[in-house]
Amino acid sequence: MTGLKFITRWFTVLIGLIPLASYGQGSGVIVDEIIAKVDNYIVLKSDLEKAYTGYLSNGNPATPDAKCKILAQLISGKLMVAKAEIDSVIVTDLEVDNNLDRRMQLILSQYGGSEAQLEEYYGKSIEQIQNDVRDEIKEQLVVQRMQETIISDVRVTPADVKRFYNRIPRDSLPFFSTEVEVGQIVKIPEVSSSQKEVLKRQLDGIRDRIVAGESFEALAKEYSQGPSARYGGNLGFTRRGMMASEFEASALRLKPGEISRPFETQFGIHIVQLIERRGNEYNSRHILLIPEPSADDVTRASSFLDSLRSLIVADSLNFEKAAKEHSDDTYTAGNGGFFEDREGGSRIASEDLDPVVFFTIDTMDVGGVTQPLAFRTDDGKEAVRVLYYKSKVKPHQANLKDDWQKIQMATLNEKKSKILNEWFNKAREDVFISIDDGYDFCGILN
């Protein structure tokens, strides 16, 4: 790989894989076999195929040597695990459990927090899913720790960046399309207490009907606005710490069969019924009503943003400072409100922008700030935002003046890759490595 185009860094791909994201998916049946061994660790054909499928699903091209590079990644990972054993690099069970819990919460959030839906999708219990991926997660954490040990001190100087750039043939420099810097300050209208009280009274009425003998599940299917509604509100067994704290506190105050009074979480207004407690887990079902902001609530949010905009336009308030302090969008607020590319840079190719944002700034002058604009967040919430069009860079061939950050990152990646390759070549002398003849054409050990 040469120039600025080596975006996929072989030494970080393994850490980016989240096994739960692809676990159990794919209609094809792979006849499994061992294709590589590193001491007591093995690489299966299914490991390679799963990683390759993930590589393609991220929009990467199916180049002739793509599988070879991925196989090299997998073997390198096994080598790091084997060397970690030799060098006594340890990842504790507590670290694995904490990482597994975080990943489970991430996956569960895609199913509205419903373990029942997740179990139905994968055809296994939560416990079985966790057991299936625990070893893989531990291995990834070991690989990550080894990588950190090897490349933690790697730095590049301005002179390194310039040398890297000057080595690239001018006809090989990438051509960048129009790039822009765009920031946003988002306000999610705060629903008035009177709006919430209406829903609480509605849920009280539903609760009374259940206590009087109507089916909780039938009423959940009829009224609940959560993803679990189709399952009668059933959430299945959930480990403590995995649900919103208010939800968990309300559920665990109940005796089995009891139904709570309405309470609020970040997701809306609920009633919950505790079905069963079992050690550190509990089984529950709920009915959720999601409060929608009124026109007055939206107007208040717009007025607040309009006042911020006036201060920003008058140069009395810095946009980045305002975004960090006031924006309700956690993804951009920490970056001073600015959208980021995959490398963490604030300049984004215009074609990669959200189409709504793109067409908005297309009618603006650089430096402009929009009036408050209504929109829907990724999770469907009604919100208001202002957009700041900070800068625009016209299509151009890569150069140090306009693309220092990209070239600096490419320089750093090349240096890290070189150090890891040197480590690999040295470390493989300490372990036994064999590759199936059917995959030896990759030349990984040459």
**CA gap 100, 132 in Å, rounded:** 11
390 neighbors 338 (Cβ within 8 angstroms): yes
**pLDDT tens digits along 134-149:** 888 998 999 999 998 8
Q: CA dist 206 to 215, 260, 314, Å?
A: 10, 12, 52
pTM of the predicted model, to two decimals? 0.64
Separation between Cα atoms, residue 435 and residue 446, nearest integer Å: 12
Q: Encoding tokens for residue 290?
A: 């999601």
Query: Given strand 348-349, what is the order of strands in its sheet?
Result: 348-349, 179-187, 382-393, 373-376
Fill in the DSSP letter of residue 189.
P
Q: How does pLDDT run across 327-386, given as a tens digit for each residue?
A: 999 889 999 999 998 778 889 999 999 999 999 999 999 999 999 999 998 777 899 999
Going by C-beta distance under 8 Å and a sequence separation of 6 or more, which residues neighbour residue 352? Answer: 341
Written as one letter, the residue type at 218 is A
pLDDT tier for residue 10 given thresholds of 50, 70 and 90: very low
Q: Considering only the top CATH level, what class is 178-189+294-394?
A: alpha beta
- Adjacent-strand bridge partners of 278: 281
Q: Work out the angle at residue 110's Cα, subtended by the Cα atoms of residues 52 and 206, and round it to the nearest 5 degrees.
A: 160
Q: What tens digit of pLDDT does each residue of 77-123 get?
A: 999 999 998 988 888 887 888 788 778 777 776 665 567 777 887 88
Side chain identity, residue 119: E
Tokens in use for 173? 């420099």
Contacts of 140 (CB under 8 A, 6+ apart): 14, 15, 17, 77
Would you state the pLDDT for residue 133? 86
- pLDDT of res. 111: 62
The sign one gets for the Cα dihedral 371, 363, 181, 60 is positive
Fold match between domain 3-166+401-442 and domain 193-289? no
Domain positions in the chain are 3-166+401-442, 178-189+294-394, 193-289
State the CATH architecture for 193-289: Roll (3.10)
pLDDT 10s digits, 198-235: 999 999 999 999 999 999 999 999 999 887 888 899 98
Instruction: Classify residue 78 as left (phi > 0), alpha (psi -120 to 50) or beta.
Output: alpha
**Mean of pLDDT values over 298-323:** 96
CATH topology of domain 3-166+401-442: Triger factor/SurA peptide-binding fold (1.10.4030)
In 394-442, DSSP assigns E strands to: 396-397, 433-435
Per-residue pLDDT at 13: 36
What does the alpha-carbon distance between residue 123 and residue 287 come to, in Å, rounded to a whole number? 25
3-state secondary structure of 445: coil
